Structure 1
Amino acid sequence: MPEIPDGSPPQPTTSKSAPSPPKPDAIFYTWSTFFSILSGQASKEERQEYFLERDILKEESDCKKCETQRDHLFKYSPTVRFMQSEVAKLGLDINSTNVRCKRCTADQSGGFDLNYGILLCANHMRNRGHIEDTMAHEMVHAYDYMRFKVDDWNLRHQACTEIRASTLSGECRFTREFFTRDQWKITRQLQECVRRRATLSLMARPACKDDVHAARIVNEVWDSCFTDTRPFDEIYR
């Protein structure tokens, strides 16, 4: 017989206690919240909870899909294969063992660490093209860390590698901006995209004070870093 907290047996009752309400079905909750989001009725907290639950439910399938696409890109993407070769010349082997697909809770597509490798946020990837852009972006970082000895605490270094990564990865090409980010400008679209993304990335650094500080650092290194297309001969994508 189960015991209550004080150790004495429970007393019999004449009527059954009310059953606990059933836990909400995760899939039903996800769909119901999804329609609330579509209709604009969901709060910010409900939106966050929806995406978190969705990511947890689909973590395994998201990671498997990401890994399949990653392996395909290592075989067939000219950009990924070229960057893999160029980074290898500097002494760092980037392959499927150190390009890892994981579920991320932060609002990011990926990341790079010289000791860990490349992170791909599987739950944030839209398609193979998005994964290719992200891999190329992080591989430019890998090249810069090996070629130029980037200092994690030097904001000028960080701004420069972010400018180069956004410029050379293809993530700022016109079609990507137009169809996925609602950026419809025609003139100087590439430069504005690179500045915007580099500034946002720099703002996440602990040493960066605010958006004004980040924009100032980006401007200071812009001329030399935006025109530096190494290891490419020109902006390829």
Structure 2
Amino acid sequence: MDEAVAAKSDEKNQAVCQRMIQHSLLRNPTVKFMRDALAKAGCPVTEKFFKAENCTLEAGGGFVPQVGISICSNHLLTVTQGEVDMILTHELIHAYDHCRAANLDWTNCQHHACSEIRAANLSGDCKWMLELLRGHTNIRQQHQVCVRRRAQLSVAMNPHCSEAAAKKAVDATWNTCYKDTKPFDRVP
């Protein structure tokens, strides 16, 4: 595929993803709940806070304080509304954690690990069917195994945290952060 065709395809995927973001913001109850929770916590976000883009980092999305949330249209697994909803929820949990913790330091592996544990646990990221699609067929404590694995993977992507530091940080924060379901009453 030549570069012009690839660029046109990337633009199309980005536009489709941006429309899905808008749909999530208007119609997805969990995304709406998280935006309301951010507003109640003193950190309201507008639609400009959310964007679809091509990312160099291999991730479905990302949160950057004072910048916003990006959905990586070039790294989505299925490019479905459900996937965009789940990634937005995951990233909104990071935004919520950043808002409610005045001293959250994303370069601190334990701080990052806690937010990743919470996001994997509360976003729907570890639903059984998604795990099956990823090739993980663990039956026993599937949800906890997934949350731990996904949190470690995300923290290890932090340039301030090695794989070993990521595992250590997830282990150190697990009990407290896995139980923390705020702003939800329980795991959705």
Same fold (TM over 0.5): yes
Post-superposition offset of 1:55: 5.4
- Please say if residues 99 and 119 of structure 1, whose CA atoms lie closer than 8 Å, have aligned partners that are also in contact: yes
Equivalent residue runs for 1:49-198 within 5 Å = 56-125=7-76, 126=78, 127-149=80-102, 150-178=104-132, 180-198=133-151
Residue range with higher mean Cα deviation, 163-172 or 56-65:
56-65
Distance 1:163 1:120 in 2: 19
Distance 1:54 1:215 in 2: 41
Q: Which residue of 2 aligns with 1:26?
A: 2
Deviations 1:141-175 (A, max 9, x none): 00000001311222111110000011000011111
- Please say if residues 163 and 194 of structure 1, whose CA atoms lie closer than 8 Å, have aligned partners that are also in contact: yes
Q: Give the percent of matched residue pairs that are identical in Structure 1 and Structure 2.
A: 36
- The answer for unaligned runs of 5 or more in structure 2 is none
Q: How many aligned residue pairs are there?
A: 185
Q: Which has the larger radius of gyration?
A: 1
Cα root mean square deviation, aligned: 1.7
Distance 1:192 1:124 in 2: 23
Change (3 A) 1:153 1:117: same
Change (3 A) 1:151 1:54: farther
1:200 aligns with 2:176: no
Change (3 A) 1:60 1:217: same
Other structure's SS at 1:123 match: coil
Distance 1:205 1:122 in 2: 21
Distance 1:66 1:153 in 2: 29
Q: Which residue of 1 aligns with 2:187?
A: 235
Deviations 1:159-215 (A, max 9, x none): 10000011000011111111x20111111111111111111111122222x322211
Other structure's SS at 1:93 match: coil
Distance 1:57 1:189 in 2: 40
Distance 1:86 1:54 in 2: 41
Change (3 A) 1:54 1:181: farther
- Please say if residues 152 and 158 of structure 1, whose CA atoms lie closer than 8 Å, have aligned partners that are also in contact: yes
Q: Which residue of 2 aligns with 1:225?
A: 177
Other structure's SS at 2:47 match: coil
Structure scoring higher RCO (CA < 8 A, sep ≥ 6) equals: 2
TM-score (norm 1): 0.74
Distance 2:74 2:180 in 1: 32
- Please say if residues 55 and 103 of structure 1, whose CA atoms lie closer than 8 Å, have aligned partners that are also in contact: no
- The answer for unaligned runs of 5 or more in structure 1 is 1-24, 28-52
